[in-house]
């Protein structure tokens, strides 16, 4: 029998949690049909929530396996979940995201079609209310052998946490994540990139879930998207991404060195990270400051764009054109270009705003 555990990690997301659990249980029902050799289990780990999360989890009774622990961050949830699962495969679902009913079935069939360490799939970007925006992530498809490029420092295109399923034995060969205050977040970074060095990756073109983009209460003041519209994730602003990525890479290098006996390059190459640095430097900057940065401090950004092994020439040309729009002495054009470069949610918001005005 092919089996998979959906591990739902939650911290104070009671407003989304029920929908996430119900979406996982829909997969249990879908794969419990007569004649099916696939089994889906649901493990919910609550990381010390102080809202109504416990009541919601307990309302599902024996349909889920609940674990309640003190708050230690997302990495502790991944470490504990991986230690507890007894199935061959695992999928870590963020409690603000959802799975579509046949997600686990398609994932298990993909695992059965080859000797894969990970199966990833696309996610619909959905609004806080659960409405599909028309955007999917990721935008690029990686090769099956991502290890060769990772060994040169290139981070490969991957969906957010909820769009990845792992062979448990492969992930255990890289984990656990070292625990410290700075490792509380972004556990999926270590899983997504560490797993690539243990085996091939299967990238499905199917969209099998929803990635919910929602803004914190403090970011909802006013009508403008502002710099919040440049955020690359729900839990991090653009400045935090710039600070955190280098130590994440260094931690990954340590994990790979001690667990697999390999040495990764001292520096990583990733357009997502470099575009984040671009947005931080140029958003609200004067025309002179934008020209100066693009002329003298953007070498790594353009290297990650032009050398990107996952993009077509047309996509590179489009990104290059948007970047050069930042040289135009217009704040409105600058904001448009940076938001469009930055993330799918911002692109959708801009299209909706333009449509409403039109």
171-194 pLDDT, tens per residue? 999 999 998 766 678 899 999 999
Mean pLDDT (the chain, rounded)? 89
Residue 98 lies in a domain: yes
The span from the CA of 108 to the CA of 91, in Å, is 11
State yes or no: pLDDT of 232 exceeds 70. Answer: no
Comparing 35-44, 68-77, 201-210, the range with the smallest average pLDDT is: 35-44
pTM, entire model: 0.89
CA 153, chain centre distance (Å): 19
Question: What pLDDT does residue 355 have?
Answer: 33
247-291 pLDDT, tens per residue? 999 999 999 999 999 999 999 999 989 998 998 899 889 999 999
**Residue found by looking up tokens 């061959």 in the block:** 88
Domain containing 337 equals 263-357
State yes or no: pLDDT of 225 exceeds 80. Answer: no
Q: In 3D, which of 98, 87, 97, 109 has the Cα closest to residue 40?
A: 87
Q: Are residues 283 and 207 in the same domain?
A: no
State yes or no: pLDDT of 163 exceeds 90. Answer: yes
Residue 220 lies in a domain: no
Q: Are residues 195 and 268 in the same domain?
A: no
In the structure encoding, which two tokens stand for residue 229, read together?
A: 């519209």
Residue 236 lies in a domain: no
Instruction: Give the 3-state secondary structure of residue 230.
Output: helix
Q: Are residues 150 and 35 in the same domain?
A: yes
Residue 268 lies in a domain: yes
pLDDT band at 231 (very low <50, low <70, confident <90, very high): low
Q: Are residues 203 and 292 in the same domain?
A: no
């Amino acid at each position: 029998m092919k089996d998979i555990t959906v591990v739902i990690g939650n911290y104070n997301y009671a407003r989304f949690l029920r929908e996430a659990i119900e979406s996982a249980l829909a997969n249990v029902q879908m794969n419990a049909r007569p004649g099916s050799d696939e089994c889906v289990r649901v493990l919910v780990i609550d990381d010390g929530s102080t809202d109504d999360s416990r009541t919601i989890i307990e309302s599902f009774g024996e349909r889920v396996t609940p674990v309640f622990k003190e708050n230690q961050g997302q990495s502790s949830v991944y470490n504990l979940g991986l230690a507890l699962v007894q199935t061959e495969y695992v999928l870590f679902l963020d409690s603000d995201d959802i799975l579509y009913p046949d997600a686990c079935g398609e994932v298990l069939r993909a695992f059965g079609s080859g000797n894969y360490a990970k199966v990833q799939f696309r996610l619909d970007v959905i609004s806080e209310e659960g409405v599909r925006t028309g955007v999917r992530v990721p935008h690029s498809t990686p090769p099956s052998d991502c290890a060769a490029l990772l060994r040169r420092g290139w981070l490969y295109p991957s969906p957010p946490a909820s769009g990845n399923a792992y062979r448990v034995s492969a992930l255990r060969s890289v984990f656990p994540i070292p625990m410290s205050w700075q490792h509380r977040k972004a556990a999926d970074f270590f899983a997504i990139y560490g797993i690539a060095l243990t085996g091939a990756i299967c990238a499905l073109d199917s969209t099998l879930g929803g990635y919910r983009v929602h803004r914190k209460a403090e970011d909802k003041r006013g009508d403008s998207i502002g710099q919040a519209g440049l955020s690359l994730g729900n839990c991090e602003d653009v400045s935090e991404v710039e600070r955190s990525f280098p130590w994440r890479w260094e931690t990954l290098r340590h994990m790979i060195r001690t667990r697999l006996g390999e040495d990764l390059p001292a520096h990583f190459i990733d357009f997502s990270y470099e575009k984040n640095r671009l947005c931080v430097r140029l958003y609200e900057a004067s025309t002179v400051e934008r020209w100066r940065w693009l002329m003298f401090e953007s070498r790594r950004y353009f290297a990650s764009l032009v050398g990107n092994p996952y993009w077509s020439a047309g996509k590179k040309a489009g990104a290059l054109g948007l970047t050069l729009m930042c040289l135009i002495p217009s704040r409105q054009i600058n904001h448009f270009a940076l938001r469009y470069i930055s993330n799918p949610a911002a692109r959708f918001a801009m299209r909706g705003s333009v449509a409403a005005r039109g």
